[in-house]
Amino acid sequence: MARQVQPIVTLLTDFGAADPYVAAMKGTLLCAYPTATLVDISHEVPAHDVVAGAFVLAAAAPCFPRGTLHLVVVDPGVGTDREILVGQFGGQLFLFPDNGVITLIKEAMPLEGLVAVRNAPPGTFGPISSTFHGRDLFAPLAGQILRGANVAELGPTPAKYRLLDLPAAERTTDGLLGQVIYVDHFGNLITNLLEADVRRRWADLRDTELLCGDERVGAFANTYGLAEKGKTLALFNSSGRVEIAVNQGRACDALSACVGTEVRLRDKKILDA
């Protein structure tokens, strides 16, 4: 990829915002490449939650320009024998631990190259620690790449790499069975029911009935504000998934739902029959 004067580097971690860890990574990166444009994807991925990290990454990273370098440090295995990988997907580079956090990127963006890092640069401030690879390994490595290192020379192409076994929605006799896969800041319930699958099954959404756990969800609408205030609704969200929401409220509370709660989209005509 062509070098840019102000390359964009994103950071996605489970480090939280209070501690010095994110800033230590950024400072180290700026030592290596002072004009990089740093953008936080999130540092509030729940601690050690690779699945949530995979979801957040896949919802944000595709929006960045080609040439962006993403540092993904949701890494409960830091310092163990898990590999660090550099992958190019859709013209963007991702540095990530081989723990499956890349799973949903791989589904969304074409894989164009992958190496397991063996020739990492030395730590900027002394030996590479076993507990803080964000600062001691990801950041110097990012600097090396930004300065023009040939990614292919960082190590061999791995024979395989880890992908998460995420639950997929299933077709049932009366519709689709899925689950909540993410609960956002607003309490919206994001599911693994895909808009494309729903639209393929039903020409008219009024023929459907949506259950979240045992609770009936209000009808599909185009957006939150089209439901009555405080009432549940279903919608196709901006990532092409079925989302369950409450207009100006919290669906997770209203429906006592969380990640893993089953959602069923059923055909009313079959139910009525």
Q: Is 5 helix (H, G, I), strand (E, B) or coil?
A: coil
DSSP secondary structure letter of residue 220: B
Both tokens of residue 114? 């992958």
Q: Give yes or no for residue 218 binding a copy of itself (CB under 8 A).
A: no
Q: Which is nearer to a copy of itself, 96 or 267 (CB)?
A: 96
Residue 124 as a binder of a copy of itself (CB under 8 A): the answer is: yes
Minimum CB–partner distance for residue 33 and a copy of itself (Å): 10
Residue type, 80: T
- The Cα 248–Cα 212 span in angstroms is 19
Token reading at 268: 């009313």
63 touches a copy of itself by CB under 8 A:
yes
Among 68, 144, 179, 208, binds a copy of itself (CB under 8 A): 68
User: Could you give the CA distance from residue 220 to residue 239 in angstroms, rounded to a whole number?
Assistant: 16
Pairing of strands 8-13, 69-73: parallel
Q: Is 136 in the site for a copy of itself (CB under 8 A)?
A: yes
Choose, by CB under 8 A, the member of 1, 38, 116, 149 that binds a copy of itself. 38
Report the nearest approach of a copy of itself to the CB of residue 206 (Å).
18
Q: Is 222 in the site for a copy of itself (CB under 8 A)?
A: yes
DSSP 39: E
Is 68:57 a contact under the CB 8 Å cutoff? no
Strand partners, 71: 11, 95
Q: How far is the CB of 173 from a copy of itself (least distance, A)?
A: 31
Work out how close the CB of 108 gets to a copy of itself at its nearest, in angstroms, rounded to a whole number: 11
Q: Which of 56, 115, 217, 257 lies at the binding interface for a copy of itself (CB under 8 A)?
A: 56
20 scored as a contact of a copy of itself (CB under 8 A): yes
Nearer to a copy of itself, 82 or 201 (CB): 82
92-97 and 84-89 strand pairing: antiparallel
